[in-house]
Amino acid sequence: MKTAVGLRNESKRKLPWLVYWWGDPDPDTGQQRKYSQSFKYKADAKAFHAVKQAELDAGGPRDRPAEVTLGQLFDEFTKARLEHLSYSSQQCYDRTIKQLRAHFGGGREIRKIALRHAEQFMAGRKRMDGRPSELSSWAKAQHLKHCRAIFGAAVEWGYIDRNPFSPPRGGGNSPLRIKPKSGPWHHITPEEFTLLLAEVPTARLRAAYWLMYGCGLRPGEVYNLTADRIDFARRRVHIENRAATEKLPPFRIKADGQSTQGKQRSTPIPEAAMDDLAKAAADAFKSGGLMCMTPERFATVKRNWRGCSAGIPWGGRRHHRPWLNSDMINNLLRDTKRYMKRAGVDLTAPLTLTTFRKSFGQNHADNGTPPKTLAQLLGHSDVKVTMQFYNRVTDANERAAAAVTDRIFAQANQQRIQRDAS
């Protein structure tokens, strides 16, 4: 009977350090099943090797627990990893889990899900609403992200040695190598923004646009902002979580990966926005201190929050659900489109409220703000998200590139003239 725990290096593997051991002899054949655990670093492998050897020497179980099924993994992952996420994130994971369950079945042993099965699953993703249009690359990337997280947890818990949803080496055409592409959006230029403000009738609404376009706030952050979070002396707006009260629902900042950077931040306010923000703050007492909300909308929010906090269906819904930041907003996009039309702004792509925040990012990228600084202003925990603005080709970028080319050839032509004259 083999009792020693082994350690070896396999340099061609992604996780080259391998710790292996044998289970108890099979009562019928006498053979021992071999188990292994892979590590990236030798120190981690040696530490696990020592712990495992001591565990077996003390009479611990040599065989791994019974095979884990997909359904069991879903249950454990939901309890361990999803409970701290927002309601929206939980719903996104739930959609992926439902599709995994429908494709593989809840009773499928997870160790029997190989790379080819993962690729087949991703290649078969279609719209769930029955419409014939292709599922967007962003939606596919979200499914892949969730699958990697679920099976990554299985690797961490020792149920499997490799995540089947990790892309293979050199597999350029693999469905596991998805590059999400954001849909087209209209870059609102400063000139267009000025035209829009001229059509907006109230300071409260102009303040909302300033906070999105001039400070890069998310729409949910704007409509949850209270006047005491504006530092008028230093011209800064502070974005922080807010606990629920009897009148006000809670505010939870959208956090990328639950990072500190995503949870709270402080952003400078343009000087041009101060007058509208000051007027909005002066009237905020009529709406429970909320900067950009009308008293009428605030009354509706209070009524909805009473139903939500009581755990009953609210806002005309048949079922209860937790409160979301976006539940504070009502009809803003509809009004924005009307004001844009009055301002004569010719939109080149669909308009959403997030377009203002994206335009804030694009304006900074076009004017040389360092990516890490912009990531902090936007509340991105990963600068890769911010880089979309630096990699995006805009009309301004193309004009600047053309100007560079013109200067290059103008200089070359001037040098030629000087050479011919001499």
DSSP letters spanning 399-410: HHHHHHHHHHHH
Long-range (24+ apart) CB contacts under 8 A made by 20-24 are 21/52, 21/56, 21/62, 22/62, 23/62, 23/63, 23/64, 24/62, 24/63
In a domain? residue 166: no
Asked if 401 and 373 sit in the same domain, the reply is no
In a domain? residue 174: no
Q: Give tens-digit pLDDT for 345-403.
A: 999 999 999 999 999 999 999 898 999 999 999 998 888 888 888 877 666 666 666 66
Tell me if 184 sits within 8 A of 138, measured CB to CB. no
In a domain? residue 310: yes
Count other Cβ atoms within 10 Å, centred on residue 53. 17
Tokens of 399: 């004009």
pLDDT for residue 407? 76
Asked if 314 and 415 sit in the same domain, the reply is no
Asked if 142 and 43 sit in the same domain, the reply is no
Residue 346: exposure state from Cβ atoms within 10 A (0-12, 13-18, ≥19) = exposed
Task: Name residue, tokens 């992200």.
Answer: 145
Eight-state DSSP code of residue 33: E
Asked if 207 and 288 sit in the same domain, the reply is yes
What whole-number distance in Å separates Cα of residue 422 and Cα of residue 420? 5
Asked if 241 and 359 sit in the same domain, the reply is yes
Helix axes 115-123, 137-156, angle to 10 degrees: 150
In a domain? residue 63: no
Eight-state DSSP code of residue 289: T
How many residues would you count in the chain?
Answer: 422
Asked if 312 and 352 sit in the same domain, the reply is yes
Residue 82: exposure state from Cβ atoms within 10 A (0-12, 13-18, ≥19) = middle
- CA 312 to chain centroid, in Å, comes to 30
Tell me if 380 sits within 8 A of 218, measured CB to CB. no
In a domain? residue 212: yes
Asked if 105 and 196 sit in the same domain, the reply is no
Asked if 297 and 358 sit in the same domain, the reply is yes
Q: What backbone torsions phi and psi does residue 222 show, to the nearest 5 degrees?
A: -65, -50
Look at the chain and report how many structural domains it folds into: 4
Going along 131-215, which residue ranges are E strands?
Answer: none
pLDDT for residue 65? 67
Asked if 75 and 216 sit in the same domain, the reply is no
User: How large is the average pLDDT for residues 206-235?
Assistant: 96
Asked if 123 and 242 sit in the same domain, the reply is no
Helix axes 70-77, 137-156, angle to 10 degrees: 90
Please say which residue of 132, 156, 180 terminates a domain. Answer: 156
Helix (H) or strand (E) holding 373: helix 371-378
- Give me the domain span that covers residue 241: 190-391
Whether the pLDDT of residue 60 is over 90: the answer is: no
Amino acid at 79: K
Long-range (24+ apart) CB contacts under 8 A made by 397-403 are 397/366, 400/366
Query: pLDDT grade, residue 257 (50/70/90)?
Result: very low
In a domain? residue 185: no
User: How large is the average pLDDT for residues 288-302?
Assistant: 96
In a domain? residue 217: yes
Q: Which CATH number characterizes residue 213's domain?
A: 1.10.443.10
In a domain? residue 283: yes
Q: Give tens-digit pLDDT for 308-360.
A: 999 999 999 999 999 999 999 999 999 999 999 999 999 999 999 999 999 99
Tell me if 36 sits within 8 A of 19, measured CB to CB. yes
Asked if 127 and 233 sit in the same domain, the reply is no
Asked if 416 and 326 sit in the same domain, the reply is no
What whole-number distance in Å separates Cα of residue 189 and Cα of residue 366? 11
Whether the pLDDT of residue 77 is over 80: the answer is: yes
What whole-number distance in Å separates Cα of residue 145 and Cα of residue 148? 5
